Amino acid sequence: METLLLSLSGFLLTFCRIGSFFVVAPVISSRNVPGSFKVGLAFFVSLLTFSGMGLQPVPLDGLYIIAVIKEILVGLLLGFIGYMFFTVVQVSGSFIDMQIGLSMANIIDPMTGVSSPIIGNLKFMVATLLFLSFNGHHFLLQAIMDSYKWIPLQNEAFVNMYNGAISDFLVRTFTDTFGIAFKMAAPLVAALFLTDLGLGILARTAPQFNIFVIGVPLKLLVGLLLLAMLLPSMLFLFQDLFSALFTAMEKAIAIMAGQQT
C-alpha cells in the first residue's frame, strides 16, 4: 500500500503537467472541445507516460506542493509556446484587415470565444486544418510525453527558471513570432500600401474623382484578389511556422533541463 501511494503521488504530478498543457495547447484547448474529453485525454496520456517512466515513486512531504507547482508551470509554459505561434496567424490577419478596411468588422472566434479579425480568423482556421493534416497534434502529444526524458519529476526546473533563461527565451520567442506575423502579412500590406499611394497620386492629378468613394471598394477588391492568389502559397509559410513551433518547444525543454541554448 505504501508503494501504491508513492506511485499515485508520482502519477498525480504527471497528470498536473499534462493536464495544464492541454489547458493552453493549440487546437486541444479550444472551447468547442468538450472539457470531459480534455480531462479524459489528459488522464490516459498521463497513465501511458507514467507507466513508461517505470512508476517512479515520489515521497509525500512538504516539498510535494512545490513539485506540483513546478509541474503545472512546465505544462503551461510548453502549451503557451505552442499557442503563441498560433496567434501569429491572427496577428498577421489583423495587419491585413487594417489595410483592407475590415478592422471594424471583427467576428467572434468559436475557438477562443473572443472577437478576432475576419482575415485572421480565416487564416487561423486554415492553419488549424493544416496542422491537423500534418499530424501536428501527434507531435504535440509526443513533445509533452518526451519532456519527461529531459525534465523528470525530480528535476531542478525552478533553478533554471530563476536564473532568467526562461524569461529571456520567452522575450526572444515573442519577438520572433511578431516578426513571422509581419512577414506573413507583408505581401498584402505592401500591395495595399502601393494602392493607397496610387489613389493619393490620382487625388492630386484628378481632383474631380471622389477618392473616398473609389478607394474603399478598390482596396477591398485588390486585397481579396491578392489573398485568393496567395492563399495556396501559404502552405509553405505554415510549414515553416509549425517547424519553428516545435523547435521553440525543444529549446524551452532544453533550457528547463539545464542545457543553455
Residue 260: predicted pLDDT: 58
**How is the chain split into domains, by residue range?**
77-256
193, three cell numbers: 500600401
DSSP string, 31-73: TTS-HHHHHHHHHHHHHHHHHHTT------STTHHHHHHHHHH
84-93, 102-111, 143-152, 232-241: least confident range = 102-111
pLDDT band at 223 (very low <50, low <70, confident <90, very high): confident
How far from 107 is each of 15, 59, 129, 138, 209, CA to CA, in Å?
35, 50, 19, 30, 33
Residue 220: predicted pLDDT: 81
Residue 172: predicted pLDDT: 87
Q: Which DSSP symbol is given to 10?
A: H
Burial bucket for residue 203 (CB in 10 Å: 0-12, 13-18, 19+): middle
Res 95 pLDDT > 60: yes
Mean pLDDT across the stretch 227-252? 84
Q: Which helix (H) or strand (E) holds 116?
A: strand 115-116
Q: Whose grid coordinates read 506511485?
A: 7
Q: Report the DSSP beta bridge partners of residue 108.
A: 115
pLDDT band at 2 (very low <50, low <70, confident <90, very high): low
Mean pLDDT across the stretch 183-203? 83
